[in-house]
C-alpha cells in the first residue's frame, strides 16, 4: 500500500510567519504534488516535482515555494503566511510507470490568524 504522510493534521499560524509543511511518501515515487483545497474551488495545484531538486509551478504558486532534497520528501513553504492561505493542503505522489494515478496524504488544515 502506498503511504503518503504529512507532518501535521492541523496547524495554526500567525500572519507573517514562515510555515513549513512536510510530505513523505514510502513508495519510491518520482512525482510529488502539493494542492490546496477550498470549498467551492476544488483542488488547485500549487507546485509539483518530478525528480529530486526539480520543481514546476502549478496553477497558484504565488506566496509559496517548495523544496525536494530527497526523493521521498517534498516540502511546501509559505514564506510569509497570510490569512488567505488558510486552507486544506494536500500532498500527493505518483510513480513514473503510472504517473496519472495520484495517491494523497491525509491533508493539513492550516489556519492563519
Partner 1 sequence: QKEVEQNSGPLSVPEGAIASLNCTYSDRGSQSFFWYRQYSGKSPELIMFIYSNGDKEDGRFTAQLNKASQYVSLLIRDSQPSDSATYLCAVTGGSYIPTFGRGTSLIVHP
**Residues at the contact surface with partner 1, assessed by CB under 8 A:** 31, 33, 40-43, 45, 48, 58, 90, 94, 99-107
User: Nearest distance from residue 80's CB to partner 1, in Å?
Assistant: 27
User: Nearest distance from residue 81's CB to partner 1, in Å?
Assistant: 22
Measured CA to CA, the distance from residue 11 to residue 69 in angstroms comes to: 23
User: Nearest distance from residue 54's CB to partner 1, in Å?
Assistant: 14
Q: What are phi and psi of 84, to 5 degrees?
A: -75, 0
Asked if residue 50 lies in contact with residue 56, where contact means CB atoms within 8 angstroms, the answer is: yes
Amino acid at each position: 500500500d502506498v503511504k503518503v504522510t504529512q507532518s501535521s493534521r492541523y496547524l495554526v499560524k500567525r500572519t507573517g510567519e514562515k510555515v513549513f509543511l512536510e510530505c513523505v511518501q514510502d513508495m519510491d515515487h518520482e512525482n510529488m504534488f502539493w494542492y490546496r483545497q477550498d470549498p467551492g474551488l476544488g483542488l488547485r495545484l500549487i507546485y509539483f516535482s518530478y525528480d529530486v531538486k526539480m520543481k514546476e509551478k502549478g496553477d497558484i504558486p504565488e506566496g509559496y515555494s517548495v523544496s525536494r532534497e530527497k526523493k521521498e520528501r517534498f516540502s511546501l513553504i509559505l514564506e510569509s503566511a497570510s490569512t488567505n492561505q488558510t486552507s486544506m493542503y494536500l500532498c500527493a505522489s505518483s510513480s513514473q510507470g503510472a504517473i496519472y494515478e495520484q495517491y494523497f496524504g491525509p491533508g493539513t488544515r492550516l489556519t492563519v490568524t
